[in-house]
Amino acid sequence: MRRNHHARGLVNGTRGTITAVDSNSGVTIRSDHGHAMPVPREYLDAGHIQHGYAVTGHQAQGTTVERAYVLAPDNGRLKEWGYVALSRARAETHITLTTDGLDEHDPPARLGTFLRHLEAAGQEAMASRRHLLGRGIER
């Protein structure tokens, strides 16, 4: 679901499976929480429902799935994102690494680089806590 419709109990971000289709009235969805939800044709025609074959790491926060397939970036500071993306599954997590910027002929080195990125926090320090060069200001 991509839009709230509180009168019908439809909430932006709800995920589920279409279980019935009626060309006149709309569809019925079984939410990931197990609730049957009728979705009116007007909601569908307005484009407020999307096929959800994949979600971002941030959208997955708070979600639990049986299996997770994670397409991991090859660089950046991934500590926070990595925790969310890699901890969603009850049974299995499969990781696919991109190779941009990594030595594709040295798989152990590629994995080591990815693991170092997972250890690096993405949060920036506040400017008031940084050493400001050229201004004579220390933290």
Domain co-membership, 77 together with 117: yes
Domain co-membership, 66 together with 28: no
How many domains does the structure of the chain reveal?
2
Which residue from 92, 72, 94, 90 is spatially nearest to 81, judged by alpha carbons?
72
pLDDT at 26 > cutoff 90: yes
What local confidence, expressed as pLDDT, does residue 19 receive?
Answer: 95
Domain co-membership, 98 together with 118: yes
Q: Which residue has the tokens 């007007």?
A: 42
Q: Which domain holds residue 100?
A: 54-139
Q: Convert the pLDDT of each residue in 110-139 to its tens digit.
A: 778 778 888 888 766 555 555 555 555 554
What local confidence, expressed as pLDDT, does residue 139 receive?
Answer: 47
Q: What is the mean pLDDT of residues 7-36?
A: 91
Cα–Cα distance for residue pair 30/20, rounded to 1 Å: 9
Residue 117 lies in a domain: yes
Look at strands 26-31 and 36-40 and give their pairing.
antiparallel
Q: What is the DSSP string of 6-44?
A: GGGTB-TT--EEEEEEETTTEEEEEETTS-EEEEEHHHH
Look at strands 89-97 and 65-72 and give their pairing.
parallel
What local confidence, expressed as pLDDT, does residue 110 receive?
Answer: 76
What local confidence, expressed as pLDDT, does residue 53 receive?
Answer: 77
Domain co-membership, 58 together with 37: no
Residue 77 lies in a domain: yes
Q: Convert the pLDDT of each residue in 59-108 to its tens digit.
A: 777 888 888 888 887 667 778 888 888 888 999 999 887 766 666 677 77
Residue 85 lies in a domain: yes
What local confidence, expressed as pLDDT, does residue 73 receive?
Answer: 73
What Rg value do the Cα atoms of the chain yield, rounded? 21
pLDDT at 14 > cutoff 50: yes
Domain co-membership, 72 together with 109: yes
| Global pTM exceeds 0.85 | no
Domain co-membership, 98 together with 38: no
Residue 121 lies in a domain: yes
Q: What is the mean pLDDT of residues 10-21?
A: 91
What local confidence, expressed as pLDDT, does residue 100 receive?
Answer: 67
Residue 1 lies in a domain: no
Domain co-membership, 120 together with 64: yes
Residue 16 lies in a domain: yes
Domain co-membership, 35 together with 13: yes
